[in-house]
Homo-oligomer: A and B are copies of this chain.
Amino acid sequence: MNGAQALIRTLVDSGVDVCFTNPGTSEMHFVAALDDVPEMRGILGLFEGVVTAAADGYGRMAGKPAATLLHLGPGLGNGLANLHNARRAHTPIVNIVGDHATYHKQYDAPLESDIDSIASAVSGWVHRSMSPDDVATDAARSVVAASEGPGQVATLILPADVCWLESPGPVAPLDPLQPVNADEQLLAALADVLRSDLSVTLFIGGRVLTEAGLRAAHRVAAATGSKLLCETFPPRLARGAGIPAVDRLAYLAEFAEMQLDGTQHMILADAASPVSFFAYPDKASVLVPDGCGVTDISAGGVDPVAALERLAELLDATAQEVAVAAPSRPARPTGELTSESMAAAIGALLPEHCIIVDESNTSGLFISGATGGCPAHDLLTLTGGAIGIGIPLAVGAAVAAPDRPVLCVEADGSAMYTLQGLWTQVREGLNITTVICNNGSYAVLNMELNRVGADAAGPKAKAMLDISGPDLDFVALATGMGVPATRATTADEFVAQLEAALATPGPVLIEAMVPPLSL
């Protein structure tokens, strides 16, 4: 048994049985070994940005890591932006980067580069496996590392000879790290704060955004009259009828400041202390009000849901009634196709247990409002701001949850980053409906151009934000990768096409001709 075979067997035994990949020569022994471990599913992406976002989508939905397999530094580079998003989502990923044979690195062959430096920017754990004697143990360690805390990217650098040389075989899975219980004194003090006259905001994210986590957070908030908000871009948010609803912190700092105005103490649960997404001249970076204390109950490896549940106990709130979203849907829209009518159509038709992948940016402004009373669903968002996540994130979500429909609502500019993901949707027969919001523009940047104070922008500047000329034809682009596609120019067309797409197994794409919002 060679190193690659031992590695893959160990990954499977440790629960990692999907590998998204775009391999090269240095990974050929790994690829050959896929046939020796039948339980490992290999899924090809035509670009590494597809591979890494698919691993992210898989990890968010499966709650355990997929593996990637990337080709040296350039392959890692191509996948880096979506690993950045995965890092911000705290998604567990075993990120395997092939490298030259150990003895070949010194010769600076054309594909040689500093993989370690590149990987360090997105990984919570980086390790280079140096021997076939160690590679199985390294694989087992990488799985544990990926699941550390809320989850992280664990990068295992894999030299070619470590794969092809004879190895001692697989190793047993290592014990996962156990979550820590929150400090009782801290929780008791927070209970006092919550019972006091102070205006408290519970700011939640990550693992709290399951139905159970939301119930725990709502109990605490309802019992104490405190405010509840969730992070702006959640990795995975349970929502819809029957689930306690939570407002997301606004993207625009002005609105976020209004949401947080008056907060005197903030309790963080698996969420970072809120800051402005970007800096703007003469605007604040920190969104926490002046003088407001901040306590993080999930610091130090604490399970945030357990901490909130314990806090509810301390507050005698375990039987606290929690309001849930009532069932409701917008009427099917008719007339013009706009961001608003597109959202209404989605709300009118969203199937039960759907996974919504939302990278619709400005065009999607009304989707959240239109779907809050839809049947229970999960929402996956762009966590790290690196556009180009949606289409491949949907791939990974669909692989992890094959019985659930996936609806990916995608902005045109972002779609063009990783459009290749459509091909993998066809190849794997994934049940994904993609809606491309075609407004011919990096619309969010038109807004930002004004917001940064560069409002006297001339024609050259505006041209850099305009992606019409030539117009992108997403029906043709999808067809070129084998995805059946239609174009909707009215709300009625969009409703009919969306209904048909959701009733069709396998991938379908709808190009929604939605004019840009005036923001």
A272 within 8 A of B: yes
Q: Which residues of B contact A457 (CB under 8 A)?
A: 31-32, 35
Least CB distance, A9 to chain B, in whole angstroms: 14
Using CB atoms, name the residue of chain B closest to A21: B464
Q: Contact between B111 and A277 (Cβ–Cβ < 8 Å)?
A: yes
A109 within 8 A of B: yes
Q: Which residues of B contact A464 (CB under 8 A)?
A: 21, 23, 31, 34, 42, 44
A440 within 8 A of B: no
* Docked CA distance A285–B112 (Å): 13
Q: Contact between B110 and A35 (Cβ–Cβ < 8 Å)?
A: no
Q: Contact between A81 and B88 (Cβ–Cβ < 8 Å)?
A: no
Give the residues from 91 to 142 in chain A that come closer than 8 angstroms, CB to CB, to chain B.
100-101, 103-104, 107-111, 113-115, 117-118, 120-122
Q: Contact between B481 and A472 (Cβ–Cβ < 8 Å)?
A: yes
Q: Contact between B470 and A285 (Cβ–Cβ < 8 Å)?
A: no
A454 within 8 A of B: yes
A281 within 8 A of B: yes
Q: Contact between A470 and B481 (Cβ–Cβ < 8 Å)?
A: yes
A-B contact pairs, 22 of them (CB 8 A): A24-B448, A25-B444, A28-B454, A29-B454, A31-B449, A31-B457, A75-B386, A80-B118, A100-B278, A103-B285, A104-B285, A107-B286, A108-B275, A109-B277, A118-B118, A164-B281, A164-B452, A164-B453, A426-B470, A476-B477, A477-B480, A477-B481
Using CB atoms, name the residue of chain B closest to A470: B482
**Residue in contact with A460 in the complex, picked from B35, B77, B78, B413, CB distance below 8 Å:** B35
Beyond A78-B81, A122-B113, whether A467 also contacts B31 by CB under 8 A is no
Q: Which residues of B contact A24 (CB under 8 A)?
A: 445, 448
A47 within 8 A of B: yes
0/1 string, A424-450, CB within 8 A of B gives 1 = 001100000000000000001100110
Among the stretches A190-198, A301-309, A415-423, the one at the interface with B is A415-423
